[in-house]
Amino acid sequence: MLTLLKSYNLITEKLGRFYLTELAQEHLVDSAEWCLEPYIASQKNRSICLDMLKVLQTGEPISWGAEKDENEWAIAMEKEEFAESFTSAMDSRGAYLAPAFARSVDFSEYSRLLDIGGASGIYSAAVVQIHKHMTASVLEKPPVDKATRYSVNKREMADRVSVIAGDMFKEDLPKGFDVHIYSNVLHDWDTDDVKILLKKSYDSLLPEGILLIHDAHLNAEKTGPIEIAEYSVLLMSSTRGKCHSVKEMEDMLIDAGFLNIEVIQTVGKRSVIKAKKNSA
């Protein structure tokens, strides 16, 4: 939320402290001549405002931990009709983002890709379709792996994109791959969980392998882009994650052991952070 307020130019950060900008002092202070507080406060009892207040007060996403709903979702994922609906939802976003992602990276020196938490597998499909020498495997937790297989089979790509059932947090990542991708995955998890996944990738990647993080990233100063700051607040309300900044990701990658980190812009305010495992 502080990042969003910075992107709106309502607060500024200096040495770890936050201060009102001139714009905020002009419109968000009771004593200001042009104060907008009464207008804004008129919205405070709307359900979306109350939900966000609850998230801020508890530190818990509003849709997290609803055991009944989670069980129903898991059972529904085993049904072909729901699986098709779910994977179609993932594909509708990936249809625009995945080809741009696949074209943004030079895969000429690599051959085997592991798509971690890859949902419908659309990013793997785009990579192997554009880079004919590549093969891919999608790692998904049951029962989502069934939806992944459904989507891969529907695309008639099962000969080049396989599906591995597994839990990325509870199990070691499969070995034998020289490329790992996390596409729109890390934003669902907090910093500690992201660090765990990055270390798992470093440990299981082949020497000289690369890690690709395709996501909506904030800039290094965490002042925007505004669209990503807004998306980050949306994620906060429904997951344990947020949009991480490129600086945060770089620091975590270095801590995990990665080298040669670069940021590649794609489309839709998305970017790929590329990092390389050393040869040891």
Quick check: is 187 catalytic?
A: yes
Angle at 47 between CA 186 and CA 85, to 5 degrees: 50
The secondary structure element, H or E, covering residue 80 is helix 80-104
The pLDDT of 221-248, averaged and rounded, is 93
pLDDT band at 69 (very low <50, low <70, confident <90, very high): very low
Residue 237 near residue 55, CB atoms below 8 Å: yes
Residue 72 has pLDDT above 90, yes or no: no
The pLDDT of 74-93, averaged and rounded, is 64
Residue 64 has pLDDT above 50, yes or no: no
Average pLDDT, the chain: 90
The pLDDT of 227-251, averaged and rounded, is 93
What pTM value is reported for the model? 0.88
The pLDDT of 86-96, averaged and rounded, is 78
Paired with 165 in beta bridges are 140
Q: Read off the tokens for 241.
A: 């994650």
15: left (phi over 0), alpha (psi -120 to 50) or beta: left
Per DSSP, which regions of the chain are E strands? 11-14, 17-20, 112-116, 135-140, 161-165, 179-183, 210-215, 259-265, 271-276
pLDDT at 74: 40
Residue-wise pLDDT for 189-223, tens only, equals 999 999 999 999 999 999 999 999 999 999 999 99
Residue-wise pLDDT for 158-180, tens only, equals 999 999 999 999 999 999 999 99
Of 33-42, 56-65, 105-114, which range is least confident?
A: 56-65
The pLDDT of 113-142, averaged and rounded, is 96
pLDDT at 129: 97
pLDDT at 181: 98
Note if the bond before 174 is cis, omega within 30 degrees.
no
Residue 86 has pLDDT above 80, yes or no: no
The pLDDT of 56-69, averaged and rounded, is 65
Catalytic residue among 187, 214, 217, 244: 187
pLDDT at 223: 94
Residue 77 has pLDDT above 60, yes or no: no
DSSP-based three-state secondary structure for 107: coil
